[in-house]
Amino acid sequence: MRSLSIYLIDSTYLRIKTYHKYIEAIMELSDDQTHKILEAYKRKRTKEKERYDKLKADPAFVQRNRDRARAYYVANKDKKQETYKMNKEIRSAKSLFHYYESGGRADEFIEKYPHKHKLILDSQDKPPS
């Protein structure tokens, strides 16, 4: 079991092939083992946060981070723009629905715009992109 707990703690190896195998692995652990894993995770996150808090005051780190973010933005601008274009109609329908819902007239929206209501319901079925 020690190897399993190390496997679960280390974030680089946290990928288990399927969700079901992950659940089975967790269910096999005793309460003590689960507690140890959670405590180790909390310690690791605390150390990472302390490290970041020290780094974020360094101007060189801030500049490198900004440069990296800028390069990512430039490289993926078209992809983000395409996502917004694909979801434009859904966002518009949701906005209109919330307008009607805030006035207590959700039924009126459903009667007046059945195609937009169907679009909203269909968008909730698929995972967000």
* Amino acid in the structure at residue 109: F
Query: Are 55 and 61 contacting, i.e. CB atoms less than 8 angstroms apart?
Result: yes
Can you give the pTM of this predicted structure?
0.43
- How many residues in total does the chain contain? 129
Task: Report pLDDT for 21.
Answer: 65
The pLDDT value given to residue 103:
92
Amino acid 20: pLDDT: 57
Q: For the chain, list residues with pLDDT below 70.
A: 1-26, 125-129
Q: Which two tokens stand for residue 59?
A: 């101007």
Cite the DSSP H helix spans in the chain: 2-9, 19-28, 31-55, 59-75, 77-86, 88-102, 106-112, 114-125
pLDDT at 11: 43
User: What do you get for the CA distance between the two ends of the chain, in Å?
Assistant: 37
